[in-house]
């Protein structure tokens, strides 16, 4: 199919591909942004790289950009801050709005919303900045059991994440996570199959793409394995039976809608081996678009090429004030 057949690329105007930024995920954002930029230009879009770490966002207006493709990850890109700035500038952008972006970036707030909606997520304990005493740390394994996962409450790409096997490891794990965020999320470990499921669209029209099963060496799906090795096996089709695949997609859509997401996103889940029960882990509202990234992989399995995916997301760029209250 002609990638341009359904979108008038000239009507999109001058497009900024926001990449880089100031977060811990800057390196990955630059890779994502370059991929998107190359794809859009190949389709005839008047697309340009724009790094908010190198020039103020206000330049988007003065340079005449009509819309923005957000290929930023993490803080000041995926957390509602850039989205808010673009709202003020009146420049439509890809992905979720201010509120959904902010909530999804905060893993604790995400869990609170999901639980309020009756959606399954692993038990957790949140340690604030004043909860670093020995008794605070030792109380966490008592509450959640071992092993458990320790991570920054507002970070991505497995940055600052540790798997704690014993009480003696809690202090180092919390200290590492706290270098990235004042709040530390401690989460019960789910022993099972790691899954991810992308979503495209908004509201009731949103649809889930094929589920991907992630088989990482020794279960270590860390920053290095995610982006810079070929050690991880990604299985799409996932190998789940039809009922389980459908349930992953149903749960992903419910989680996406509960947070008010739009445009696109990707839910990470665990399927517990002991009872085949699903648990939502987190929602990504500005997923990676690198050569190792999962949304393009799933989209390809659904018959959507990488350039077509980029163009579809760009064409759906909008503002909160014109999105029907989705965000």
Predicted pLDDT at 321 = 78
Q: Answer whether residue 234 shows pLDDT above 60.
A: yes
Which residues 6+ apart lie within 8 Å of 1 measured at CB? 308
* N- to C-terminal Cα separation, the chain: 32
**25 catalytic per annotation:** yes
* Residue 227 annotated among the catalytic residues of the structure: yes
Question: Exactly one of 154, 257, 262, 266 is catalytic; which is it?
Answer: 266
Does pLDDT of 157 surpass 70? no
pLDDT tens per residue across span 255-289: 999 999 999 999 999 999 999 999 999 999 999 99
User: Can you spell out the DSSP letters for 158-185?
Assistant: TTT-EEE-SGGGHHHHHHHHHTT-SSEE
273 is catalytic: no
Q: Is the pLDDT of residue 323 over 70?
A: no
Instruction: Tell me, yes or no, if 234 is annotated catalytic.
Output: no
Catalytic: which of 25, 78, 106, 320? 25
Catalytic residue (one of 162, 225, 284, 293): 284
- Mean model confidence pLDDT for the chain: 92
Separation between Cα atoms, residue 31 and residue 72, nearest integer Å:
10
225 an active-site residue?
A: no
- Beta-strand ranges (E) seen in 274-326 are 278-284
Predicted confidence (pLDDT) per residue in 109-130, tens digit = 999 999 999 999 999 999 999 9
The catalytically annotated residue of 288, 293, 298, 306 is: 288
Residue-range domains of the chain with CATH: 9-94 (3.40.50.20), 103-120+191-322 (3.30.470.20), 124-188 (3.30.1490.20)
Is pLDDT above 50 for 325?
Answer: no
Q: What is the mean pLDDT of the segment spanning 69-83?
A: 95
Which residue in 268, 286, 293, 306 is the catalytic one?
268
């Amino acid at each position: 199919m002609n990638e341009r057949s359904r979108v008038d690329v000239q009507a999109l105007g001058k497009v900024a591909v926001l990449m880089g930024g100031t977060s811990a995920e800057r390196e990955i954002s630059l890779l994502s942004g370059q991929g998107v930029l190359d794809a859009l230009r190949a389709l005839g879009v008047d697309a340009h790289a724009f790094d908010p770490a190198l020039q103020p966002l206000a330049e988007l207006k003065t340079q005449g950009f009509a819309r923005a493709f957000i290929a930023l990850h993490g803080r000041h890109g995926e957390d509602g801050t850039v989205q808010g700035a673009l709202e003020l500038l009146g420049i439509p952008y890809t992905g979720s709005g201010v509120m959904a972006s902010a909530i999804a970036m905060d893993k604790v707030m995400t869990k609170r919303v999901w639980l309020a909606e009756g959606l399954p997520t692993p038990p957790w304990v949140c340690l604030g900045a004043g909860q670093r005493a020995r008794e605070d740390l030792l109380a966490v394994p008592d509450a959640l059991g071992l092993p458990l996962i320790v991570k920054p409450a507002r970070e991505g790409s497995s940055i600052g994440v540790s798997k704690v096997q014993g009480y003696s490891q809690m202090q180092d794990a919390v200290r590492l996570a706290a270098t990235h965020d004042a709040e530390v999320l401690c989460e019960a470990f789910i022993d099972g199959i790691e899954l991810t499921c992308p979503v495209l669209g908004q509201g009731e029209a949103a649809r889930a793409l094929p589920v991907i099963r992630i088989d990482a060496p020794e279960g270590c799906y860390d920053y290095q394995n995610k982006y810079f090795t070929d050690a991880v096996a990604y299985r799409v089709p996932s190998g789940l039976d039809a009922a389980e695949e459908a349930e992953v997609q149903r749960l992903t859509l419910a989680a996406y809608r509960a947070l008010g997401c739009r445009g696109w996103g990707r839910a990470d889940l665990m399927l517990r081996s002991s009872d085949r029960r699903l648990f939502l882990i987190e929602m990504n509202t500005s997923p990676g678009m690198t050569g190792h990234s999962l949304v393009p992989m799933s989209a390809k399995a659904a018959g959507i090429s990488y350039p077509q995916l980029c163009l579809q997301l760009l064409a759906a760029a909008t503002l909160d004030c014109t999105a029907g209250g989705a965000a």
